[in-house]
Amino acid sequence: MPLSAAQRHAAAHVDAIQPDLSAWTATIFDFGETAWREYRSVDWYVKTLRQHGFTVEEGSAGMPTAFAAEWSNGSGPSVGMYAEYDAVPGNCQAASTYKSPRAGLNEHAGGHTDPHSGLGIAALGGLLATKSAMEREGITGTLRFTGEPAEKVRGSKPIHAAKGYYDGLDGMLSFHPFYMLPMCNTVRWDTHCGAAYSMIYRFICDQPEDWGRSDGAPIPQSHSAIRAPGANDALMMMYMASKALRDSMLPHQGGWSVSEAILTAGQATADNLPAGLAEIQYMMRMPDLAMAEQATAFLDRNAEHAARMSGCRYERHWVCKSRPGLANHAMANLVWDSLQAVGAPRWDDRAKEKAREIQVNLGLKPMPEPFIDEMEELIDPQSAEAILRRDLPPSQLNSTSDDYTDMSWHAPLARFYIARPALKAPPGYRYPGWVMNALGGMPETIDPMVTTAAKVLALSALRLMEDEAARKAARTEFDTRTGGGIGGAKWIPPLCDYDPPIHFRWPEYVETARGRDWWIPTHPIS
């Protein structure tokens, strides 16, 4: 399909602002802020969007590091895009060709792995190019752009969805850097991401003196008096029992996982007093909601017994409950058309030289063509789907997890992937994790992904704006798959029945007498 004048302008606009996109990507990469604590990142996005004429609601849906922006050129279709900008702890890597944390920090601080720094700026570039084309060509309609914190814990989208932030859109465009072959320069077809549940179990030992006493007598004034084992013991019993019984938690088929993290709670106590508070977080990736509910019941039972055995009580606090994704072939084909028009990203000699420097610094022989071949190739959605399904049982409808899926129940959605930089490996060799992180921060290696994704987003958004038949096809399919649209017979309502989990001790940066530091102290004591 030939490009419209608006689409041609948008593609040229992305090229015109490419230096800005490059600098902006580096800015967010250097912030490296983690879930629910992306203060500098969200401040930057809010200010930038307002400078470009968007109205912005800060702290949307009760999340301090979320936002909801909108720009309208009159009545007409509405299209949604979004930014993610959270990093993850323990991955603080500089944009360099050797292993090194960002200046003034330790490797245990936050860093971008996926990288959401490039994801968010690519979306912003597509948004601004779409706006410019609408203004130039007089296209009426509305652009909606949300800031989505804490994606790594599936945090914001289930909450935004429950509050109606995606309702009323004619289409939602979801981009992610590729993270597994064959999902490279393609669009998801049928097998979208699955359900994700995450919760924090909090063990509280607030009456340790009652442990083992039946006479109601006051606790003797003795450090050797019997006391409850305490919260740490409860946590460890929960941790070990759930890990030991994990294989019996769910059927031995389908791609599912349950992982845990012990949260630091700062509960150092005297040596003869039990810990009063301990917390453990679980994250579940499940093909469907029934499996997630079954695993949750299993963990609840373990928490109850662990608390009883250690003289504690327990609380369960939700971090996320996200629905499995809903396919939309009409939207997938629309984005696939745009991706074919833009083409796969290309990495030039400057990028290849950076890649070779990494190989040399790792003691490897530099390769003439250091990037994996698939990065510069397109794969059509049906072929990617067929490869993806090879390892999945026929009964499994969804695979892995990502909270974009919650958007798919409120508007016709397409999920597409653009290649991020990744290196070929010699036989039997596996690159250390810092390599991918560094490639996501160096302009020479990450910029091709950002500009390509921005163009695909802009061309797809404008197609939705200009092509009434395409919008109608996407809406008709959405209504059919949900049994009548939002609230229809086959529609899954939001699962979010909890407040944003922003009050836990999520890791973050702090200002100290030593300067800016990670909240788990990492600087050497001088």
298 and 380 together in one domain? no
Tens of pLDDT, residue by residue over 476-489, are: 999 999 999 999 99
pLDDT of 218 > 60? The answer is no
Please give the pLDDT value at position 106: 87
146 and 253 together in one domain? no
Please give the pLDDT value at position 515: 79
Given 482, 503, 518, the domain boundary residue is: 482
Please give the pLDDT value at position 229: 85
Q: What is the pTM of this model?
A: 0.93
Has residue 513 been placed in a domain?
no
Given 460, 482, 504, the domain boundary residue is: 482
Q: Which amino acid is at 45?
A: Y
- Two tokens at 190? 């049928």
How distant, in Å, are the alpha carbons of 181, 239, 321, 350, 406 from that of 196?
22, 20, 6, 40, 10
Burial class (CB in 10 A: 0-12, 13-18, 19+), 58: middle
Has residue 518 been placed in a domain?
no
Helical residues (DSSP H) of 253-380, grouped into ranges: 289-309, 329-342, 349-361
pLDDT of 526 > 50? The answer is no
167 and 226 together in one domain? no
44 and 165 together in one domain? yes
Tens of pLDDT, residue by residue over 302-347, are: 999 999 999 999 999 999 999 999 999 999 999 999 999 999 999 9
Has residue 526 been placed in a domain?
no
Position 524 confidence tier, pLDDT thresholds 50, 70, 90: very low
DSSP assignments along 123-161, one per residue: HHHHHHHHHHHHHHHT---EEEEEEE--GGGT-SHHHHH
Has residue 315 been placed in a domain?
yes
pLDDT of 215 > 80? The answer is no
Has residue 501 been placed in a domain?
no
What's the rounded Cα separation, in Å, for the pair 347 and 444? Answer: 8
331 and 368 together in one domain? yes
What's the rounded Cα separation, in Å, for the pair 249 and 241? Answer: 11
Please give the pLDDT value at position 496: 95
Do residues 334 and 474 make contact, with C-beta atoms less than 8 angstroms apart?
yes
Instruction: State the virtual CA torsion across 196, 260, 107, 431 in degrees, nearest 10.
Output: -70
Range of the domain at 469: 5-194+324-482
Do residues 31 and 111 make contact, with C-beta atoms less than 8 angstroms apart?
no
> Mean per-residue pLDDT for 22-44?
97
Q: Taking CA 26 as the corner, what is the angle to CA 25 and CA 31, rounded to the nearest 5 degrees?
A: 100
476 and 359 together in one domain? yes
176 and 296 together in one domain? no
Tens of pLDDT, residue by residue over 267-313, are: 656 666 778 888 999 999 999 999 999 999 999 999 999 999 999 99
pLDDT of 70 > 90? The answer is yes
47 and 131 together in one domain? yes
> Mean per-residue pLDDT for 496-519?
88
206 and 217 together in one domain? yes
- Two tokens at 1? 């399909």
Please give the pLDDT value at position 353: 98
Please give the pLDDT value at position 505: 85
pLDDT of 114 > 70? The answer is yes
The number of distinct structural domains making up the chain is 2
Do residues 157 and 148 make contact, with C-beta atoms less than 8 angstroms apart?
yes
Has residue 515 been placed in a domain?
no
292 and 181 together in one domain? no
Q: Which SS3 state, helix, strand or coil, does residue 286 take?
A: strand
CATH code (residue 173): 3.40.630.10
401: DSSP letter:
B
SS3 annotation, 29-75:
HHHCCECCCCHHHHHHHHHHHHHCCCEEEECHHHCCCCEEEEEECCC
Do residues 149 and 202 make contact, with C-beta atoms less than 8 angstroms apart?
no
Q: In terms of pLDDT, which residue wins out, 226 or 182? A: 182
Tens of pLDDT, residue by residue over 424-475, are: 999 999 999 999 999 999 999 999 999 999 999 999 999 999 999 999 999 9
Tens of pLDDT, residue by residue over 353-369, are: 999 999 999 999 999 99
> Mean per-residue pLDDT for 215-244?
76
Closest CA to 281 of 324, 231, 238, 233: 238
Has residue 45 been placed in a domain?
yes
The percentage of the chain sitting over the pLDDT mark of 70, rounded to a whole number, equals 94
> Mean per-residue pLDDT for 382-401?
91
187 and 302 together in one domain? no
CATH code (residue 309): 3.30.70.360
Please give the pLDDT value at position 459: 98
257 and 386 together in one domain? no
Please give the pLDDT value at position 258: 87
Please give the pLDDT value at position 268: 58
Has residue 262 been placed in a domain?
yes
Q: In terms of pLDDT, which residue wins out, 85 or 522? A: 85
Given 322, 344, 371, the domain boundary residue is: 322
